[in-house]
């Protein structure tokens, strides 16, 4: 059994990841399963990352329907390519749902990829990524982002977790300028992915 505590002030995308020794093999089903125990109605999400063949990362949140008891959730990854060979599995509780102001503890067990079971205890590590330097903040039109690694993709989410910007870069820049002039006023969350699709940085900014 794995224990997951979402901190009182955590980001909506806070999770934990497992870097696997070999790519995930779904077999013909492309179905994943997991058992969760939650004391509230929310969601549990699985994210497939770091494809050896360049397939896009994919995340699927599934809502739980019961509280204070174990429930098996099913994830349909039928849209992924047959040869995707994802090498990182990330889990989230209450993905895109804002923190409650209190620590929330949930449990997971028996993660099954295709016909194979994944371990739980000692496998997943906190998905901690460095904060990025962004300026100006607040911003009106052009947001400058500085990263320590080459950037492959920029994602921007609004305050309710909806993706509003996705920009892909082919030249592996470290310093980037993003046009945010068309965004509505408010708080936004920015994520940087490297050229392999792994999360390498995050930031918050305010659009004026």
**Residue 50 pLDDT more than 50?**
yes
Q: Are residues 103 and 11 in the same domain?
A: yes
Q: Are residues 111 and 140 in the same domain?
A: no
In whole angstroms, what is the distance from residue 144 CA to residue 127 CA? 24
- Both 96 and 144 in one domain: the answer is no
More confident residue, 82 or 47: 47
| pTM for this model (two decimals) | 0.56
Sequence-distant (6+) residues with CB within 8 A of 66 are none
| Beta-carbon contacts of residue 15 (< 8 Å; ≥ 6 apart) | 45, 47, 90, 91, 92, 93, 95, 127
Q: Could you report the per-residue pLDDT of 126-138, keeping only the tens digit for each?
A: 555 666 788 999 9
User: How many domains does the chain fold into?
Assistant: 2
DSSP-derived letter for residue 199 is: E
Structure tokens at 120: 């739980």
Domain shared by 116 and 38, yes or no: yes
Which range has the worst mean pLDDT, 17-21, 62-66, 103-107, 143-147? 17-21
- Antiparallel, parallel or unpaired: β 43-51 and 58-63: antiparallel
CB 55 within 8 A of CB 80: yes
Task: Please report, for residues 75, 100, 153, the alpha-carbon distance to residue 147 in angstroms, rounded to integers and kept in the order given.
Answer: 33, 30, 12
> What is the reported pLDDT for 161?
67
Same domain, 10 and 81: yes
121, 86 contact by CB (below 8 A): no
At residue 115, the pLDDT reads 60
Do 89 and 16 lie in one domain? The reply is: yes
pLDDT in tens, 188-204: 888 888 777 777 788 88
Of 126, 156, 178, the residue at which a domain comes to its end is 126
Average model confidence (pLDDT) across the chain: 83
For 75-126, write each residue's pLDDT tens digit. Answer: 999 888 888 888 888 899 998 887 778 888 899 888 888 765 454 444 455 5
- Domain of 162, in residue numbers: 133-207
């Amino acid at each position: 059994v794995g224990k997951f505590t979402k901190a009182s002030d955590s980001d909506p995308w806070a999770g934990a990841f497992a870097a696997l020794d070999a790519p995930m093999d779904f077999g013909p089903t492309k179905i994943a399963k997991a058992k969760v125990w939650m004391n509230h109605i929310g969601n549990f999400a699985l994210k497939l990352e770091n494809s050896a063949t360049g397939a896009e990362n994919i995340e699927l949140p599934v809502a739980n329907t019961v509280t204070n008891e174990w429930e098996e959730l099913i994830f349909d990854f039928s849209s992924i390519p047959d040869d995707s060979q994802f090498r990182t599995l990330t889990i989230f509780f209450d993905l895109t749902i804002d923190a409650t102001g209190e620590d929330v503890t949930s449990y997971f067990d028996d993660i099954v990829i295709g016909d194979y079971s994944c371990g739980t205890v000692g496998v997943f590590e906190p998905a901690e990524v460095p904060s990025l330097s962004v300026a100006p903040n607040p911003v009106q039109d052009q947001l400058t982002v500085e990263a320590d690694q080459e950037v492959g993709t920029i994602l921007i989410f609004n305050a309710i977790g909806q993706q509003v910007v996705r920009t892909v870069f082919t030249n592996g820049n470290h310093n980037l300028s993003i046009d945010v002039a068309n965004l509505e006023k408010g708080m936004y969350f920015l994520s940087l992915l490297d050229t392999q699709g792994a999360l390498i940085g995050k930031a918050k900014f305010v659009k004026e």
